[in-house]
Amino acid sequence: MPPWLDDFFWTYQNLVYALGVNGLLALSIYVVLAVGQLSLGQAAFMGLGAYSSAIMTLKFKLPFLLVLPASCIVPVAFALLIGGPTLRLSGVYLAIATIGLGEVLRAVYLNIDWFGGALGLSGIPERAGIGSIYGLLAAALAVLWIIGRSHIGRAMEAMRTDETAAEVMGINVPRYRLGALLASAVLAGLAGALSAHVSSFIGPNEYGFEPAVTILSFALLGGIGTPIAPVLGAWILTLLPELLRGLADFRLVFNGVIIVIAVLFLPNGILPFRLRRHGRP
């Protein structure tokens, strides 16, 4: 590595990690929005991935190669658990129910000593890095891209446009909904495990309501026409606070203004293009 790159990386290491992790979180909200579900459990799933992976590393001394895939298990179990009762809800009711999951879990982390209570878990060894974070992000993007162009992508867009019509076409709507929720849990769980293993510390307040809304705003800004769109949204919203350091306390205001402008004037996001959803004839 040339010295200037080394310097740059040293200075912006956390930002580089955050861009990759937030990219995965953007894909996590993308998969549920792409089937027309306003499910806001991504931050909660991320927290489950972070806590379960940190505990596997700290208390059971498991190798990271095992911890990383295993970090999906708990979020997926919770997704299955809440999937049955909540997937009959739609729109804002589903949003509220899934935000509730995040708040319940926050209270659990806070009040159970095994999870570190209010202090969280610290001293998590730095096991993840550029390779694991961006490798998984690239793999997730590629998989979602291929799926988006297949009959599954068509079914997802059909559901998002008109669920009744999609069902009349023979699309198993409940199965797709659950599938999207599980995929969302996997992606957020991985993001949680990766971020826990680059930041050395996790706390109960990192996975509540505010991050849930931030993750949603990635997709609102970027759009959901292609999988890359929400990732771009995440990158912009992660970089902006750094670029706007001069604005000090007004940074969040500026962030908010950008989201409002995007929602008002770019209803399909800054990357409104859509995938062609069929193969070659």
Partner 1 sequence: MSVLLELAGLTRRYAGLVAVDSVDLAVAPGTIHAIIGPNGAGKTTLFNLISGLVTPSEGQISFLGHSITAAPTFRRAALGMGRTFQNIRIFGGMTVLENVLTGLAPSFKGGIGAVVAGLPALRRAERAAIARALDVLDLVGLRAQSDAPAASLPYGDQRRLEIARALASSPRLVLLDEPAAGMNPAETAALALLVRKIRGSGTTVLLVEHDMSFVMDLSDRVTVLNFGRRIFEGSPAEVRREPRVIEAYLGPKVAARLAVVAQ
Closest CB 85 distance from partner 1, rounded Å: 18
- 143 makes contact with partner 1 (CB under 8 A): yes
- 274 makes contact with partner 1 (CB under 8 A): yes
Rg (C-alpha) for the chain, rounded Å, is: 19
Residue 212: count other Cβ atoms within 10 Å of its Cβ.
Answer: 25
- 97 makes contact with partner 1 (CB under 8 A): no
- 147 makes contact with partner 1 (CB under 8 A): yes
Nearer to partner 1, 245 or 276 (CB): 276
Question: Quick one: which segment of 11-19, 91-99, 158-166, 201-209 binds partner 1 (CB under 8 A)?
Answer: 158-166
Contact criterion met (CB below 8 Å) for 120 and 58 = no
Closest CB 175 distance from partner 1, rounded Å: 9
Question: Quick one: which segment of 144-152, 201-209, 230-238, 254-262 binds partner 1 (CB under 8 A)?
Answer: 144-152
- 157 makes contact with partner 1 (CB under 8 A): yes
Residue 118: count other Cβ atoms within 10 Å of its Cβ.
Answer: 11
The SS3 of residue 71 is: coil
- 15 makes contact with partner 1 (CB under 8 A): no
- 178 makes contact with partner 1 (CB under 8 A): no
Alpha carbons 200 and 50: distance in angstroms, whole number: 11
Residue 84: count other Cβ atoms within 10 Å of its Cβ.
Answer: 10
- 266 makes contact with partner 1 (CB under 8 A): no
What are the residues whose beta carbons fall under 8 Å from the beta carbon of 230, sequence distance 6 or more? 26, 27, 29, 30, 218, 219, 222, 223, 224, 269
Number of residues that bind partner 1 (CB under 8 A): 30
